[in-house]
Amino acid sequence: MGFNFFVQSNIRFGRGVSEELPQIICGYGMKNVMVVYDQGVKAAGISEKVLEQVNKAGVKVTIFDKVIPNPTNEIVEEAAVIAKKAEIDGFVAVGGGSSIDLAKAINVLMTNPGSIGQYGGVGMVKNPVLPLIAIPTTAGTSSEITNVSALIDTEKVIKYVVIDNNITPSDVIADPEFTVTMPASVTAATGMDAITHAVESYISNMATPLSEYNSLKGLQIIYNNLSKAVKNGNDMDAREQMMLGCIITGFAFSNANLGLVHAIAHTLSAHFKLAHGMANATVLPYVMEFNAESCPEKMVELAKAIGLATSGNIHSDKYLLSKELLKLTKDLEIKTLSEQGIKEEDLEMLAGDVLHEPVLNFNPRQNVTKENVMDILRKAF
What's the confidence (pLDDT) of residue 8?
Answer: 87
What's the confidence (pLDDT) of residue 326?
Answer: 98
Give, in degrees to the nearest 5, the angle at Cα 45 between 42 and 50.
85
Rg from Cα positions in the chain = 20
- CA proximity to 333, closest of 207, 186, 195, 203: 186
> In sequence order, which ranges of 95-232 are alpha helices (DSSP H)?
97-111, 184-203, 209-231
Contacts of 129 (CB under 8 A, 6+ apart): 107, 108, 110, 111, 112, 166, 167
- CA proximity to 170, closest of 56, 290, 30: 30
What's the confidence (pLDDT) of residue 2?
Answer: 84
Specify whether the CB–CB gap between 110 and 80 falls below 8 A. yes
Contacts of 159 (CB under 8 A, 6+ apart): 70, 150, 151, 152, 153, 266, 267, 269, 270
pLDDT along the chain (381 residues), means of 10: 86 96 98 97 96 98 96 98 98 96 98 97 96 96 95 94 96 96 94 98 97 98 98 96 97 96 96 93 98 98 98 97 98 96 96 96 97 98 96
Instruction: Write phi, then psi, for 14 (nearest 5 degrees).
Output: 135, 165
Compute the residue count for the chain. Answer: 381
What's the confidence (pLDDT) of residue 4?
Answer: 87
DSSP per residue over 244-286, as a string?
A: HHHHHHHHHHHHH---HHHHHHHHHHHHH---HHHHHHHHHHH
Structural domains for the chain: 10-178 (3.40.50.1970), 184-380 (1.20.1090.10)
Instruction: Write phi, then psi, for 92 (nearest 5 degrees).
Output: -125, 115
Q: Running DSSP on this structure, what letter comes out for residue 72?
A: B
What's the confidence (pLDDT) of residue 7?
Answer: 87
What's the confidence (pLDDT) of residue 1?
Answer: 76
State how far the Cα of 343 lies from the Cα of 350, in Å rounded to an integer. 11
State how far the Cα of 226 lies from the Cα of 239, in Å rounded to an integer. 8
DSSP per residue over 315-352, as a string?
A: HHHTTHHHHHHHHHHHHTTPPPTGGGT--GGGHHHHHH
What's the confidence (pLDDT) of residue 178?
Answer: 96
Whole-angstrom CA distances from 114 to 122, 128, 189 are 17, 15, 35
Give, in degrees to the nearest 5, the angle at Cα 236 between 233 and 240.
110
What's the confidence (pLDDT) of residue 280?
Answer: 97
